[in-house]
Amino acid sequence: MKLSSKNTRILILMLLPVFAIGSNRLPGIKIPGIGTMFPLRIIALLYGVIFLLEKQHYALYNKTKTKLMGLWGYGIISLVWSISLSKGIQGEIIYLTSIFTVFLVLYLVKDVSDVILICRITTLVALLIGVMGVYESVTGKAFLVTKERYELWWVTNYFGWKYPHVLFYNTNDFATFMVAIMPILCIAVEKLRHKMLLRYAGVLFCSFCVFLTDSRLGIILCAVFFLWILPKKNFSGIIGGSVVLAVILLLIRRYWFFLSGGFNDIASISLGEERRIPIWGNAIRNTIRTWGFGVGVGNSAIANEKFCYYFTGGIFEVHNYFLEVLEDFGLFGLGCIVSWCFMIFKRLWPFRKEEKAKFFFSFMVLYCFLTTCSSSLRQSYYLWLFLGLVISYIKLCDQNNEKGYNYGESLS
């Protein structure tokens, strides 16, 4: 089959969400010193190179190429002063395949039906993972046990159940996925009957899955998103209500543990968000120590362990993706990522009245907050897939406008 044929393109679009969500849990080819080339990495490298070499006439695509490849190129240079060269090389492979995942989406998505297809396949996979997570939490039986899986089986959630992981490294990664999927789910059901009922049911199910993880940030984001999708006439009122509900949930989350006696020393050390403040302090101090050039791609955890300015209880992953980029790539890398995200926000804003654009915009907002939920987002390939989907949709909106329609009008 030709790589550019319609049948090949549709097949890959259908498999892409599965490959992105499963990522390194799927079988692949192990290459010493580099890592495992699982299906997504192979496909992303293949199509990513084609997209990179292909001449683009769309400014947003070219700017995306420049910023992301600039980030990766700087990572190559940073290998010179990195603490661990092997970690640096592995980090470069992770970033290259993540960036090429974005390029893969930009190359394959041709119309709105492709966007809907990816969203629907992603939603089906997410709902299956959610069901598996509930089962895993209730029964305490893990679906997938690997050496990479970080478990806290001695700590339980509100209901006395175990924390769900399913395919993910830890329960925070599971919570991050279930929050990020909510806008995608809302887009997936847009053309279905009873779409509002399906949206509410889907978001409530995702929220319940997040509730099982005890993620305070995740619970707040779920509550705010649920209020956001409710029918509203007064925008300022809904924002105010969201803030009030978020505060209430945060207080309930904090004091429920004390009242139930479940907030023990182990939980406070392992799961307390307060522990992240000194971790972030170490990341900033290490960036300053390197004069803003960064410690080298993939070396942030090693640097935080070797140059530990503040006590973190043996936790060295940054738990803040933007600060992780800052520590790894320095000020230049942070500038690339932040300016890229700002560019997406800016280009998406004119289409805010279009329904899909609203949910893509909400995903971008959730993404910015979720950067502090997981220990690291480097290998969260599904997030790079969604980011590519947002950019592809912006292009489709621009093409629609060139046909004489208003922003987002008649885009279906």
Domain boundaries, the chain: 1-108+274-412, 119-271
Q: Is 60 exceeded by the pLDDT of residue 2?
A: no
Contact 174, 133 (CB under 8 A): yes
Q: Assign 29 to helix, strand or coil.
A: strand
- The owner of tokens 């990020």 is 180
Q: Based on the number of CB atoms within 10 Å of its own CB, is 293 exposed (0-12), middle (13-18) or buried (19 or more)?
A: middle
Window from 99-108, 270-279, 293-302, 315-324 with minimum mean pLDDT: 270-279
Q: Tens of pLDDT along 284-305?
A: 999 999 999 999 999 998 998 8
Contact 367, 387 (CB under 8 A): yes
Q: What are phi and psi of 47, to 5 degrees?
A: -75, -30
Q: Assign 296 to helix, strand or coil.
A: coil
Q: Which of 34-38, 92-96, 189-193 holds the top average pLDDT? A: 92-96
Q: Tens of pLDDT along 304-334?
A: 888 988 888 778 888 889 999 999 999 999 9
Which residues touch 290 (CB under 8 Å, ≥6 apart)? 81, 330
Own/partner long-range contacts of 123-128 (Cβ < 8 Å, ≥24 apart): 123/181, 123/184, 123/185, 123/188, 123/189, 123/202, 125/17, 125/18, 125/21, 126/21, 126/177, 126/178, 126/181, 126/184, 126/185, 126/206, 127/202, 127/205
Give the span between the Cα atoms of 112 and 50, in whole angstroms. Answer: 22
Q: Which residue has the higher pLDDT, 406 or 210?
A: 210
Contact 184, 363 (CB under 8 A): yes
| Residue 177 structure tokens | 């996925």
Please give the pLDDT value at position 257: 44
Q: Which of 27-36, 178-187, 263-272 holds the top average pLDDT? A: 178-187
- The owner of tokens 């971790």 is 279
Give the span between the Cα atoms of 238 and 229, in whole angstroms. Answer: 10
Which residues touch 155 (CB under 8 Å, ≥6 apart)? 163, 264, 266, 267, 270, 271
Window from 65-69, 159-163, 221-225 with minimum mean pLDDT: 159-163
Give the span between the Cα atoms of 196 and 231, in whole angstroms. Answer: 10
CA distances in angstroms from 100 to 20, 174, 397, listed in the order given: 12, 24, 23
Own/partner long-range contacts of 218-223 (Cβ < 8 Å, ≥24 apart): 218/175, 218/176, 218/178, 218/179, 218/373, 219/249, 219/253, 220/246, 220/249, 220/250, 221/179, 221/366, 221/369, 221/370, 222/179, 222/182, 223/249
Give the span between the Cα atoms of 158 and 355, in whole angstroms. Answer: 36
Claim: this prediction has a pTM higher than 0.85: yes
Please give the pLDDT value at position 16: 92
Give the span between the Cα atoms of 200 and 39, in whole angstroms. Answer: 34
Please give the pLDDT value at position 27: 74
Residue type, 105: V
Please give the pLDDT value at position 293: 95
Q: Is 50 exceeded by the pLDDT of residue 410?
A: no
Q: Which residues of 375-396 are buried (b: 16+ CB within 10 A; e: fewer)?
A: bbbbbbbbbbbbbbbbbbbbbb
Residue type, 379: Q
Please give the pLDDT value at position 237: 56
Please give the pLDDT value at position 251: 54
Contact 330, 293 (CB under 8 A): yes
Q: Is 90 exceeded by the pLDDT of residue 341?
A: yes
Instruction: With cut-offs at 50, 70 and 90, classify the pLDDT of residue 346.
Output: very high
DSSP string, 199-212: HHHHHHHHHHHHHT
Q: Is 70 exceeded by the pLDDT of residue 9?
A: yes
* Beta-ladder partners of 29: 37
Give the span between the Cα atoms of 205 and 189, in whole angstroms. Answer: 15
